[in-house]
């Protein structure tokens, strides 16, 4: 009984604080990303994502879409840096959504990669407020678009986990 109580208290603490232990997952052409233990692998969030994890009960989702610089250049597309890639993506992403707001771009380095990040909020067709942290990570050979989202009311619960996920990518 004491062990059951201890285990139950442990799970309650994890759920209250939103800070979860991350487990590194391998994906795509061989890159690694830290994913919270409360998320499970899925295949139903995006048709082109090379990595997809979710916890539908908690309304927490993360995907990664990776683009090879070599393949982009073969198509005649060249970006200056991660911020240029992010701005190009944001031009059309959810541009018609109600109450769409995008923060200014935050630039930083993580694991030897250059990153550009914004917070994006909008309302969907059912008037649900949504929050997404969008990070573009530029490595030597790829651009990675990491998109983590939840309902607006859970923003503060998952925002730090999403930021940790974005900074964990390495290839």
What pLDDT shows up at residue 29? 66
Q: What is the pLDDT of residue 86?
A: 98
Q: What is the pTM of this model?
A: 0.83
CA torsion angle 39 43 47 53 (round to 10):
10
Mean pLDDT of the residues in the chain:
90
Torsion angle of alpha carbons 43, 47, 51, 56, nearest 10°?
-50
- Per residue in 54-94, pLDDT (tens digit) is 999 999 999 999 999 999 999 999 999 999 999 999 999 98
What are 141-158's pLDDT values in tens digits? 999 999 999 999 999 999
* Tokens encoding 17: 């604080």
Confidence check: pLDDT of 138 > 90? yes
Note the helical H segments in the chain: 2-17, 69-74, 82-90, 155-167
CATH number for the region 22-167 comes to 3.40.1000.10
| Paired tokens of 114 | 């250059």
pLDDT the model gives residue 28 = 55
pLDDT exceeding 90 applies to what percent of the chain? 77
Whole-angstrom distance, CA of residue 146 vs CA of residue 148: 7
Please report, for the chain, the start and end positions of each structural domain, with discontinuous segments joined by +.
22-167
pLDDT computed for residue 27 by the predictor: 65
What's the pLDDT score for residue 24? Answer: 78
Which of 10-19, 43-52, 67-76 shows the lowest mean pLDDT across its residues? 10-19
Cβ atoms within 10 Å, residue 94: 16
Q: Answer yes or no: is pLDDT of 104 > 80.
A: yes
């Amino acid at each position: 009984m004491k062990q059951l109580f201890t285990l139950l208290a442990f799970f309650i603490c994890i759920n209250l604080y939103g800070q979860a232990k991350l487990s590194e997952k391998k994906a795509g052409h061989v890159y690694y990303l830290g994913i919270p233990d409360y998320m499970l692998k899925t295949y139903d969030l995006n048709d082109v994502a090379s990595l997809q994890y979710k916890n539908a009960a908690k309304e927490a989702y993360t995907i990664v879409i990776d683009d090879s610089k070599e393949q982009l250049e073969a198509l005649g597309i060249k970006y200056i840096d991660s911020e240029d890639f992010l701005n190009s993506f944001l031009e059309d992403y959810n541009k018609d959504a109600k109450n769409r707001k995008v923060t200014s771009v935050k630039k930083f380095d993580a694991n030897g990669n250059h990153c550009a990040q914004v917070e994006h909020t909008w309302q969907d067709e059912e008037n649900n407020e949504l929050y997404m942290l969008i990070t573009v990570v530029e490595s030597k050979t790829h651009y990675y678009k990491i998109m983590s989202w939840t309902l607006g009311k859970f923003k503060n619960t998952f925002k730090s986990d999403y930021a940790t996920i974005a900074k964990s990518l390495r290839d």
